[in-house]
């Protein structure tokens, strides 16, 4: 009797583990396949009017985290190389003492990007909101998405679903602490599952605002 119970428990655990891998692994695999031909290095990046730079947290002093600094620095390199004309900095600004786009803006200016070529989106609370608002608020039809490799497939999927012709450039200039990257990657697995729902099944209510189309000379 005990052997049968143990066998049943292990069998159940095995099937549950398989189901969990299927539920969370399939979205990751699917978005990676869809993004396979649209992810580039900095040197190979296609030309586009705008680079969309996604927020990735601030330090206690309000400066960008290492992950976010890499995104901003990579976007600045695209700008200096003439691959993009404008940088759309999109992030969270729901709280008085937390301003992702502001921190990104300050760092980009330090790197030498002209202020008139930086556009700030304070409603980019999630990747979905950033992609939605890039199209609906800022009038972006074509863009290079700048973020780390683990995040690009999801960002490309969402922007493409929302009507933005997108390519992606990997922003990974610095080595990151292993623990931090593990947290980001685990979070990305769950977020990718949610993105399939948002993109295909049940789009969430976006953060709206007054249209501010990006102007080009």
pLDDT at 8: 52
Q: What is the pLDDT of residue 189?
A: 75
The CATH superfamily holding the domain 34-201 is HUPs (3.40.50.620)
| Residue stretches of the chain with pLDDT short of 70 | 1-28, 177-181, 184
Averaged pLDDT score across all residues of the chain: 85
Tell me what pLDDT residue 11 has.
55
pTM exceeding the 0.85 threshold for the entire prediction: yes
198 phi and psi angles, rounded to 5 deg: -65, -40
Identify the pLDDT of residue 17: 46
Res 76: pLDDT = 97
Domains of the chain, residue spans: 34-201
């Amino acid at each position: 009797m005990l052997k049968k119970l143990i066998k049943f428990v292990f069998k159940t655990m095995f099937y549950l583990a398989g189901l969990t891998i299927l539920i969370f692994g399939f979205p990751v695999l699917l978005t990676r396949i869809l993004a396979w031909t649209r992810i580039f290095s900095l040197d190979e990046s296609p030309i586009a009017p705008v680079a969309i730079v996604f927020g990735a947290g601030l330090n206690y002093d309000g400066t960008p985290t290492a992950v976010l600094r890499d995104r901003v620095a990579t976007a600045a390199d695209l700008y200096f190389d003439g691959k993009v004309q404008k940088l759309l900095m999109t992030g969270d600004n729901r709280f008085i003492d937390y301003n992702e786009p502001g921190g990104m803006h300050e760092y980009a200016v330090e790197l030498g990007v002209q202020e008139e070529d930086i556009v700030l989106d304070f409603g980019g609370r999630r990747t979905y909101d950033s992609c939605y608002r890039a199209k609906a608020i800022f009038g972006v039809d074509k863009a290079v998405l700048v973020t780390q490799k683990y995040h690009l497939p999801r960002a490309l999927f969402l922007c493409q679903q929302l009507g933005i012709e997108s390519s992606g450039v990997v922003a990974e200039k610095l080595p990151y602490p292993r623990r931090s990257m593990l947290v980001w990657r685990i979070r990305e697995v769950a977020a990718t599952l949610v993105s399939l729902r948002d993109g295909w099944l049940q789009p969430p209510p976006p953060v709206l605002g007054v249209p501010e189309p990006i102007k080009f000379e």
